[in-house]
Structure 1
Amino acid sequence: MTDPDTPIELPALEYLERMLAGTLRPEHRTSTRYPTAISRTLGFRLVDIGEGTAGIRTDADTARFGNQQGTIHGGYLAELADATIGTACSTLLTPGESFTSVNLDATFIRPAWDGELIAHAHATHIGTTLTHWYCEVIRATDRKTIMTATSTVMLLRGDRATGR
């Protein structure tokens, strides 16, 4: 029998799967932080997870996240894509590994206003050190793409992962 006060370290993918299924227990831990502070602050919700993939939803609110034109700010959309890519990337980690973004390239296609947005990211290449990602953000109301993003993420191992 497992002592409920003894932490149980889970791989990120299993941790997130359990979180979505509602079977995560207080003693479960993983090497990365979920949800992240920025995701909690911005109201991002994990809705889908798999090896090398993630889906996140958010309720966009122009009163909180609007720009000068009255639409959702591109920085908010870029953070949504980055958070989704980072979550997908974490599913590839083994114990003692971490990662860091090398770049994020955002392409804004059409505006978004108040309403639910859905981001989905997946790996397009998984190398030994560098991974490449694609993320699409759509409006839930009409399923139209409002933004795409690509990113390169570096996997960190050994001493490079220490303290991250």
Structure 2
Amino acid sequence: MRYPTAISRTLGLELVEVGPGTASVRAVVDSATHGNQQGTVHGGFLVELADAAIGTAHSTVMLPGESFASIDIRAVFLRPVWTDTLIATARPSHAGRTITHYACKIVRGDGKPVATVTSAVMTLRGEQAAGR
């Protein structure tokens, strides 16, 4: 597992907790830095926060010579955020040999959910993993 990643450093994401197949990532956000046209934290930022948690979670189950690639991601936005500390926690909902499905919940500082994100991740082996 490589952490922090370049994008995590750029966006100020911090690893909070990691375990086999699970990870939590934190971001301190404000609409002045992370805002969209409506003045709330951008949904794309929330998706990236979830993707960072999912990717970190999946990296904990990689064996030597394996790599992985996200093959889809879907977000459901539940409430807006202006300024807060967000934590994204990813866990597998189904772990297959090649495809693993993850569910990630993003909560704000008071524990209320901001978004739920689901993603499928494909494990790459052998020639497919070379150079990744």
TM bucket normalised to smaller: over 0.9
The residue matched to 2:27 in structure 1 has which SS?
Answer: strand
Which residue in 1 is equivalent to 2:90? 121
Distance 2:66 2:47 in 1: 25
- Root mean square deviation, CA, Å: 0.7
The residue matched to 1:77 in structure 2 has which SS?
Answer: helix
- The Cα shift of 1:139 comes to 0.5
Considering only CA atoms, is the larger Rg found in Structure 1 or Structure 2?
Answer: 1
Matched to 2:39, the amino acid is G
% of aligned pairs identical? 58
Distance 2:65 2:108 in 1: 37
Which residue in 2 is equivalent to 1:110? 79
Segments of 4+ moved more than 2 angstroms: none
Q: Which runs of 5+ in 1 are unaligned?
A: 1-11, 13-32
TM-score when normalising by structure 1: 0.79
Give the number of the structure whose residues are more often strand, by fraction.
2
- The Cα shift of 1:143 comes to 0.8
Aligned pair count reads 132
User: Whose RCO is larger (CA < 8 A, sep 6+)?
Assistant: 2
Which residue in 1 is equivalent to 2:128? 160
Distance 1:48 1:110 in 2: 24
- The Cα shift of 1:61 comes to 1.8
